[in-house]
Structure 1
Amino acid sequence: MTIYFNNGVYQNKEDVGVSIDDRGYYFGDGVYEVIKIYEGQLYTAHEHFTRFLQSAQKIRLDLPYTVDEFMEIAGKLMVDNGIVEGHVYIQATRGVAPRMHNFPGIDSKPSITAYAIDNPRPLSKLKEGVAVKTVDDIRWLRCDIKSLNLLANVLAKQDAYEAGCAEAVFVREGIVTEGSSSNMFGVKDGILYTHPANNLILNGITRRVVLKCCAENSIGVMEEPFTLEQFNDMDEVFLTSTTSEITPIISIDGRTIGNGEPGRITERLQHVFEQTIQHPSHKLN
């Protein structure tokens, strides 16, 4: 029986109720995070919950817990649900109030819910790679906020799914930004390229782990915008996310990247990433 966290109370899933007047339901007025669990340990949880609070602050939502308290909640859900390999999902909305676009009064409190579920590593995709499809980036200009407003991402992911692809790659005015639920990387002549962490992308936690791994292993990095033409011409391409880790991309819009197999630097970074999993409490600088 799955145990959920619901506004300070731990409940069976069947007992958790959400009001129709919740602003997350009406407006997507909230933020969320996903924290990976490896071998019964939370991975980079401090970084995830720091970003969770930062996202909330950016939408002027005050949350009643600290990073450490959120980590305790996640840890309890992991233990109570017996999760060894999986993830914790948590979201916070602006709360329950009559439907109106402006913020509710001071009596309204945030609604915070969370759960932990099994989710095995995507080992076959990590080894064999995936295909992706490019789509126009029609999202708003605050992609740095991990908000519940994901309709554009959902539509992009569905386009990719219907094309037989694992991910959609957003392209804004000719520039590759990120995936519908991932960050994008390319390798050219031994140098790693990725879009800078500005308002046009979410600064993924796994993205940050990869950049730290590059710095520690003498892999050059260029955080700068690159075009779709440059993306297609990369020697290697991969995507990163909490649940996808470092997944090689072997084709873009049906065009094979390199020799159609995961590249040398991609595999090297996968190996280094594996080592970070063995130390899930390590901190990013």
Structure 2
Amino acid sequence: MSVGEYFTKLNTSLPSTSATTRIPAFFIAHGSPMLIWPKQIPAASSSLMRSLMKTSGPDGPLANFLKALGPFLLQRYRPKAVLVFSAHWETERHIEVMANDDKNELLYDYYNFPDELYKVTWESYGSSSLAKHVKDLLEKAKIPVKLIKNSERGFDHGVFVPFIHMFPEQPFPLPVIEVSIDSSLDPEREINLGKAIESLRDEGILILSGGLSIHNLNDLGQSLPDVASPNVRDFEKTMIMAAELPENRRLDELKKLVRHAGFRSAHPREEHFVPMYVAAGAGSQGEAKVLCDLHGAVTIAFGL
């Protein structure tokens, strides 16, 4: 689908601001550095990498969806700030919250890519007041938390890679802060993390939690619909069905997904899947809708 077609689909799928005062919480497919691959540099010549570039590269369907999603969210919900979680930042003992009013730094946390990928930029600024507010909410929920400065850590590529497509205006005009996920990777704890900040949706804060519905670096073919094993395809189908269940059943069925027969083939480790639970917790009330069902790159809105 083109960017315009995705935008039209979003317009018919999500409620207007007149229908709800709460901004939904989103689990987004944040993709990989392939999304911002320099066009002047050929990708690896293997047929597998060519197929992955076709689906996950800068001109692929995921990039087109993200290019539609970002402007749509800004136009539809007019958020005051963005709070983002990423599969690439997990912490022990404390949830960490970036707290600064200065320019957010970038953390190029990937390896063996072309030099150009270490020169990309995405300019934004933080909000120490929002960070403090998040800290207060987490403490109220009895979740250990601490604030860190932007000099201690930059935005990882699970943030800036999709945001380059979603929010191309530079510098980005809204404050953005990143919050870590719980390194236990336990669905219940990630859901509770999301629930603790659910009230931010009433305050005009856009909550984005990034990961992937399939992430297996040891078997990249699982990210291709024509190559993925039947168990992995069934896992993702079950995920999509569970996400759209009524709220009184949804969380219980989503928690069962980590025990699905195809889960370990889709996720040898859980870190790219559990951000979905943060978004599901932050949008635990109301309906949920799958906005994009691209294989390996499902995006879901929670709390409609």
TM over 0.5: no
Q: TM-score, normalised by structure 1?
A: 0.26
User: Which of the pair is proportionally richer in helix?
Assistant: 2
Q: TM-score, normalised by structure 2?
A: 0.25
User: Which of the pair is proportionally richer in strand?
Assistant: 1
Higher-Rg structure is: 1
**Structure ranking higher on relative contact order (CA contacts 8 Å, 6+ apart):** 2
